[in-house]
């Protein structure tokens, strides 16, 4: 079952790519008490993710925060070291990287995809959501192969 607007995020372990290395976090605790712009990509350093998705949120971080967003979070089915390197290479201090290395978060959301045709195995779909105190307020899931409704610009229009 896919998560929907009004649902509470599932409680799973994620790993934050911190300044001093990987930091385990529980999603129920991490998303509590704040408004988060969350976006998910199939993989760090992949073409659309690196050329459009992450840069859009980096560029629009100030605009999102001016609309009441407390934190911007990127997630992918990658390990925390890869997510940290991706943020260092293409991101900013405005973006928090949460690694979903075993696809537990994407799976609990019902938003996985099979990337085995590209040698990527199980991955998270491309999507974005606004999460307020752990509850989904907006959910934007991309059709396969598209990048339209999960962008920072689209989210800004929802806030």
Q: pLDDT, tens digit, for every residue of 20-63?
A: 889 999 999 999 999 999 999 987 776 665 667 788 899 999 99
| Residue positions annotated with a catalytic role | 49
pLDDT under 70: residue ranges of the chain? 1, 46-51, 113-121, 123
Looking at the chain, the whole-number percentage of residues with pLDDT higher than 70 is: 89
- Domains defined for the chain, CATH in brackets: 13-158 (3.40.30.10)
Q: What is the pLDDT of residue 40?
A: 94
Q: Is the Cβ–Cβ distance between 158 and 138 less than 8 Å? A: yes
Instruction: Record the pTM.
Output: 0.92
């Amino acid at each position: 079952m896919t998560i929907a607007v009004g649902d509470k995020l599932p409680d799973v372990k994620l790993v934050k790519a911190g300044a001093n290395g990987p930091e385990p976090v529980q999603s129920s605790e991490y998303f509590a008490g704040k408004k988060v712009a969350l976006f998910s990509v199939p993989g760090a350093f992949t073409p659309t993710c690196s050329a459009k998705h992450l840069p859009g949120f980096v560029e629009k971080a100030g605009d999102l925060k001016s609309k009441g967003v407390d934190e911007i979070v990127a997630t992918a089915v990658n390990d925390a070291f890869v997510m940290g390197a991706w943020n260092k290479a293409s991101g900013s201090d405005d973006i928090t990287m949460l690694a979903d290395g075993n696809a537990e978060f994407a799976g609990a959301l019902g938003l996985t995809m099979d990337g085995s045709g590209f040698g990527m195995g199980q991955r998270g779909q491309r999507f974005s959501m606004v999460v307020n105190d752990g509850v989904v307020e907006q959910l934007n899931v991309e059709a396969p192969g598209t990048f339209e409704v999960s962008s920072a610009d689209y989210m800004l229009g929802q806030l």
